[in-house]
Amino acid sequence: MKRRNFIKKLSLATIPFTLGGIPIRLMAENSLTRMAGQSTNDRVLIILQLHGGNDGLNSIIPVEAYDLYYQWRANIAIPTKNSLRKMIPLDSTLPSAVQVGLHPDMIAMKDLYDRGRMAVVQGVSYKNNNGSHFRGRDISFMGGGFDDYFSSGWVGRYLQQEFAPQIYPNDFPNAEMKDPLAIEMGSDVSLIFHQEGNIPTSISLNDPQSFAQLVEDLEGFNDEGIDPRGKPPLALNDSPYGKELNWILGLEDKSEDYAERLYEVFQNAPATSITYPERYPFNAPRGSMRNGLTPQLQLIARLLDGGGPGLGVKTKVFLVKMGGFDTHAEQVESYDPTMGQHAALMYHIASAMKAFQDDLKARGLEDRVLTVTTSEFGRRVRANGSYGTDHGTGAPVMIFGKGVQPGVVGTVPDLNKENVEMQFDYRQVYANLLRDWMLVDENKINTDIFFKDFLNGPKEDGSGNYEPLPLATQIISGVQENFINNRFNLEDCYPNPATEFTTIKFKINTTHHVTLSLSDNQGRLIQTLLQEERNEGEHEIRVHVQDLPVGIYFYELKTGFFQETKKLIVVR
């Protein structure tokens, strides 16, 4: 292929090709990629875009305000009782104003929460949210306000400020950094990675082999004043046209390295040992059955793995996408509000994220990766007459990973309002994640990334100062254990040693099926003490032991993911 034809195939995007059947875009812009090797930590941020505006009220369901919730959206409301499919209470230990439940198809997300690997932030939006898909997406990607029109994105500015610049293209790629700093799934061009004055370019191909073959087929050249690729004479090198074309042709030279490197990493990494969900198991509209998030997350886990410690990509930020959230009509099935398009989407997110976390753990990567959702807006409080919801404002943000500070931040929205009001500016969420997860200096966040202090500075409405949000942890140690122990607990039995009886106490945070068993010191089951559904709270079981031989026994509690065993001594 002629280089002139290669240039014609370039568009104003990034470099996309397919790995594992997933189109991805490499942020090949020089400022992004050239600096990645200088990162001071190996932490990774995944941004999960819920394209179309997710209905937060049918995802994170209010408990104390359920009557109002049902009043405004009776035709789509998720039931709390008298149904096999009903709301899943999240956490009874939370204050009443914070109490929420999950859609019945988000059972995997309940498991993540109970394990201390999920947080919810209520009422995330921006001032004067106008409910526009395109404008809302641009605002959230550029990291500005409703009246800002930045040509750069907040991630691009973060990367630019976080890493000292090198000479491009001479210093890149190099032995320390062979990977693109950011990877975007899909074929769109997102503002989030742009930097001021830089134009990303793209080329779409079916697979990395084809990508590499295209570059290998390009003819070399010797610059003799007029270039056969259509390059202008040297006198025009400093012109806008010359600079842009020089940049494109420099990108061409790097493309082969990107393709070969990512394909090599992909091939060297083992396929996952975890079963990811492929399809929605119930009824849903055609097109909603397949879990489109699964292959994207599988690919990320495999690229980060690379076949062993230190062999995976050093890419810092990934953007993954799910569509279908613009549910004006038929959000639910008319015969069952727990079924339909939105139900399938909730299942896809919850089940794929659960499998992804298990995959990361199996690969030894769980300490490195945090995922945050984003959507251009939420939906209105009132449902419409078409079993759907219309464009709104605020919505919950969900955060997943071992590095999360688990819990619910913010209170249940005021459902007497037409829209879910903003409790937290979306830039607060990102600013706190940059500081506490990506370990970015606060001054850089305030001055160079968001151009305002969303960590401690004054609020735009004059109601006080922003406060730090407990979203992520700088040091991953003990956070999940403390969270779990405050919600699930098997206490030491009393008396112990016991002669005639002992009392076993345990605590659970929501209604769960509970199994409590007693085994001998050889692991043989002696008695199933309890096997039934128990409500949230503290429970106690009186166990008679007078007929048991003297010796050491073990009692074990199993409920959901939680399992704990303790020792009982029987004496006479």
- Report d(CA 122, CA 59) in Å as an integer: 11
Side-chain half-sphere of 156: how many Cα atoms within 13 Å?
Answer: 25
- Report d(CA 165, CA 31) in Å as an integer: 7
**Which pLDDT score is estimated for 448?**
93
Domain 488-570 is of which CATH architecture? Answer: Sandwich (2.60)
Reference 425, options 402, 394, 470, 446; nearest CA is: 394
Residue pair 258/180 in contact by the 8 Å Cβ criterion: yes
Residue pair 408/98 in contact by the 8 Å Cβ criterion: yes
How many other CB atoms are there within 10 angstroms of residue 499's CB atom? 12
Residue ranges, the chain, pLDDT below 50:
1-14, 28-35, 164, 166-170, 172, 199-209, 211-212, 215, 218-226
**Which pLDDT score is estimated for 401?**
97
Pairing type for strands 44-50 and 369-374 reads: parallel
Retrieve residue 122's tokens. 């209520």
82's CB contacts (< 8 A; 6+ apart) are none
**Which pLDDT score is estimated for 205?**
28
**Which pLDDT score is estimated for 27?**
54
**What pLDDT digit, counting tens, does each position of 366-379 carry?**
999 999 999 999 99
**Which pLDDT score is estimated for 475?**
87
Query: At 38, which amino acid appears?
Result: Q
Q: Is 381 exposed, middle or buried (0-12, 13-18, 19+ CB in 10 A)?
A: buried
- Report d(CA 25, CA 498) in Å as an integer: 65
Sequence ranges of the domains in the chain: 3-481, 488-570
CA angle 257, 166, 320 (to 5 degrees): 55
In angstroms, the first-to-last Cα distance of the chain is: 90
